[in-house]
Structure 1
Amino acid sequence: MNEVPPHVTGLAEQRAKARAGRDYAGADALRDKIEAEGWLVRDTGDGFELTPRRPFEVWPTVGSVPEHGAGHRAPGRTGTAGSGTASSDTADAGTAGSGTAGAGAAGSGAAGSGAAGRDAASMDAGRVAEAADPSARPERLGGLDAERVAETEAAPKPEPGGSELVGRSDDHEGHPERTISSQLLWDASLAVSRLDETITPAEPHKPAAAPTVTVGLIVDGWPDDLRDCVRALVARTEAKIIGLDLGNVDGAGAVLEELAEEFPRRVEAWHVAEAPHWRGGTAEWGESRTKLLRLDTSDVHVVMETSTILDGDAITPLVKVLTDDVAAAGWKGVNPGADGHEWHDAEPGEVRGLLGHLFAVRRDAALAVGGFPEGARYYRNADLEFSLTLPGTLVALDRDLPVHQERHRGYHDVDPGYRDRESRRTYDRVLRLLQDT
């Protein structure tokens, strides 16, 4: 077993003190230093644990990730072997695999004001307040441990039932005695069946199997957010999790791999060298989201940001709504104003748009429209564009869900010029969709 160097232990102790003092920025910086030394730090109930940083395979681009593999350990993968060492010190390089500091994953739905889209201030005062002092944030979920997230083995498939047919006509050529015997058996079985019908009550109707569910996460930095998000999902739901790591920003890809090792039946990890477009790389939001959708094999696909944290099972209520003509159900919903240039928070119920903080969509419906918007390089307004393409009804549950959001990285930690430019670009397509519908 590898012995932890004293200076790495010292860094981990400094990080524990920073977390205790709610200095999350300092804790993140210390985590980066620890990972640069080749170690991963994991918070436990009584402190922390240091483990050697394992290498993982990295595919060159989002498009190159195979869509019919057998998980993050799929055989036959030919991606470049990566050591998980990409860091944020090359953030300005703007090249694939630079490990630039990412920001945000699925869309929150906040958009620009006026003709550009939604005004963040009018959408939700709470979203604007997310930029406040991080010391005001609730306790993180680092204390969740393996005891709370015990995994279950998959139930064995039942043996096929029923019996073989008696006296098939192609068995009787040249054997009339078999035909007679079979006819007698058939007549007898009919008589018994008629008798059974009079004395045997009908078997109770077996309920349909619950739909399978997978949560798709774009991993673009902020490893602590990722860890808290995934641990809450594992502890409070039965859903599978697929993470797509873009460029191992801030070591988040290494943490995703760590989580896949810790929860092998729940978490599947894929890594690409492309950094997120919203931080100077080439990996686009729409393409990444569609890749997650196609890697999924479940009935229901859940779009979620790593800054969204479950306080209870917020997934099952969304899945239960997906009946009849309901194609998608989410946490937050919005409706357009009369002129279509501004969107407003909607009351629980039927809505025109779902925000990308958290929503569940029937996978067949999402695939039927070709997945997520191909031209969306950044999340903002792309959640609306996707919503407007879906066939069927959209429903928002809002306050009925046990969930909250930490600092919304995808909005507050992206260059404002880039954010507004890409938001307007996507919103032009949203306006065209509104006009068509």
Structure 2
Amino acid sequence: MSEAPPHVTTLAERWIEARARRDAAAADALRDELAAEGWRVRDAAGGFELVAAAPFTVWPTVGSIPDAAEGRIAGHPAAPESAAGHPVSPESAAGDSASPESATEHSASPEPAAGRPTPPEPGTGRAGLDRDAPIPDRDASADERHVEAAAEPGRRPEGLDAVDAERVADKEAAPEQKPEGAELVGRVDDLEGHPERTVSSQLLWDASLSVSRLDESITPPAVAERPRSVRPTVTVALLVDGWPDDLRECVRALVARTDAKIMALDLGDVDGAGRALHELAEEFPRRVEAWHVAETPHWRGGTAEWGESRDKLLSLDTSDVHVVMETSTILEGDAITPLLDALGDDDVVAAGWKGVNPRADGQEWGDAEPGEVRGLLGDLLAVRRDAALAAGGFPTGARYYRNADLEFSLALPGTLIALGRDLPVRQERHRGYHDVDPGYRDTESRRTYDRVLRLLRTP
């Protein structure tokens, strides 16, 4: 239990009592009082736990974060309120809701750097596979501006070009001078009695002012350049489930070596990783968008599942290309641009770092050479966002990452490309595999792999 002032501890004890007698209104009111004091209360073995309020907004669950399609604008949704009109308390995923307002969006200008490619280190993976300024409106027509010039000698109306302005000035200085082009229909002194000539002369005069001088050489128009293709927008999506030092190294490399937007979802501020994410979002304005939930990862005994969390990041994203990345993956150069280039082929729906192919028995998978592959792993994977959404997003039944990234890529309707060692990437210790309880890891991996086998057998 945190060292809280005695009156705060008393409020927490009263909160426990209210919950024990199932008095939800009293419990909510006490929780709000604690929040006003700068503390959050949550259930713990043998009683309660008090923690100092986080310096950022915490949503109660992954599912409580509004999707981009639900009216979220630039990462700033409206905060839901309790029935009493107070923001919902942010710290308890199991039973108590959190105080959601808007997540903060931050950014910074990237400083591109180059790095030498490093062959990926083998890790562990699948069953039988080892891996780890607006333009102002025109306020007058061209004819109106010429009228203004004639009415006010010496004044050059806005929008009148230099040639026209000079011509107007010449006309004011020598009104007896013949209008250019009059000789085409007759002399000025020969217009009397010929109204059609007068009209024609006036039309030529007007045209000479608004278009160009008839006696000037006409420059042929330059051949229009072929329009350059618009570069797709891209977001790198990170799940933050602990290990703040890994997160810092991963994000700093992304900021230094790419211009991609970074969106990260913090699950429960494990080991202070959520606070590290908050600091990164403040350090790099408009580059890092941070979301925080009170739920902790399922593999840590919490309720936040990998598939649901990844799917939420996809639904929050509005970019053309969505990049799945692990915080153990570190860029040593711009590895995002080659992935985007690979997506330039209309048939390619996803491109990634590590590709795998099923072995002959259909039960195990092996590392694939660069090129077209059957499956991609989620260490670093870029996918067309519209295709990912059309395929149903990430497998929401997957509680743990292992094999779930493979399941996701198998469901995509199109060609998958792996770039392999051609990418300037390295992988640090994959803690999501090595630092997880082996029993949990094997159980959940097998559970997901059963779905992978069904996908393989589907024509």
The verdict on a shared fold, with TM-score over 0.5 as the criterion, is: yes
Aligned 8 A contact 1:216 1:242 in 2: yes
What residue number does 1:60 align with? 60
TM-score normalized with structure 1 length? 0.64
Contact 1:96 1:274 in 2 (8 A): no
Partner residue in 2 for 1:287 = 308
Q: Partners in 2 of 1:378 and 1:347 — Cα distance? A: 26
1:342 to 364, 387, 390: 364
Partner residue in 2 for 1:308 = 329
Would the alpha carbon gap of residues 54 and 246 (structure 1) be closer, same or farther in structure 2, given more than 3 Å must change? closer
- Identify if the C-alpha distance between structure 1 residues 204 and 265 changes in structure 2 by more than 3 Å, giving closer, same or farther: same
Aligned to 2:383: 361
CA contact (8 A) 2:58 2:293 kept: yes
State the partner residue of 1:25: none
Give the gaps of 5 or more residues in structure 2: 1-37, 39-51, 82-86, 97-121, 143-198
Indicate the residue corresponding to 2:353 in structure 1.
331
Aligned residue pairs: how many? 313
User: By how many angstroms is 1:366 displaced?
Assistant: 0.4
Q: Distance between the aligned counterparts of 1:327 and 1:295, measured in 2?
A: 20
**Equivalences for 1:12-411 in 2 at 5 Å?**
55-68=55-68, 69-76=72-79, 78=81, 80=88, 82=90, 110-111=124-125, 118-120=127-129, 123-124=130-131, 127=132, 159=135, 199-323=220-344, 324-411=346-433
Per the alignment, residue 115 of structure 1 pairs with none
Paired letter, 2:64: S
Cα distance, 1:265–1:77 mapped onto 2, change above 3 Å: farther
Give the counterpart letter for 1:384 in structure 2.
L
Equivalent in the alignment of 2:16:
none
Q: 1:230 to 1:159 in 2, by over 3 A?
A: same
User: Is this contact kept in 1: 2:66–2:77, CA < 8 A?
Assistant: no
Structure 1 stretches of 5 or more lacking a match? Answer: 1-37, 39-51, 87-93, 98-107, 113-117, 128-155, 167-179
Distance 1:267 1:332, change over 3 A: same
Larger Rg: 2
1:229 touches 1:308 (CA, 8 Å); kept in 2?
Answer: yes
Contact 2:60 2:90 in 1 (8 A): no
Instruction: Output the CA distance in 1 between the equivalents of 2:95 and 2:303.
Output: 6
After superposition, give the CA deviation of every residue in 1:119-156 in whole Å (9 maximum; x if it has no partner): 24xx35xx4xxxxxxxxxxxxxxxxxxxxxxxxxxxx6
- Corresponding residue for residue 48 of structure 2: none
Are the counterparts in 2 of residues 330 and 358 from structure 1 also a CA contact under 8 Å? Answer: yes
Question: What is the rounded CA distance, in whole Å, between the counterparts of 1:203 and 1:165 in structure 2?
Answer: 27
**RMSD value, Cα:** 3.5
Q: TM-score of the superposition, structure 2-length normalised?
A: 0.61
Distance (Å, rounded) in 2 between the aligned partners of 1:262 and 1:77? 27
> How far did residue 197 of structure 1 move?
11
Distance change in 2, residues 1:325/1:53 (3 Å): same
Identity %: 69
Q: Which amino acid aligns with 2:128?
A: D
Question: Matches of 1:261 and 1:350 in 2, distance apart?
Answer: 40
Name the SS of the counterpart of 2:57 in structure 1: strand
82 and 429 in structure 1: CA distance in 2 versus 1, 3 angstrom threshold: same
**1:159–1:55 distance in 2 versus 1, CA, 3 Å:** same
Q: Is the 8 A contact 2:356 2:376 kept in 1?
A: yes
Q: Counterparts of 2:136 and 2:260 in 1: how far apart (Å)?
A: 27
Larger RCO: 1 or 2 (CA < 8 Å, sep 6+) = 1
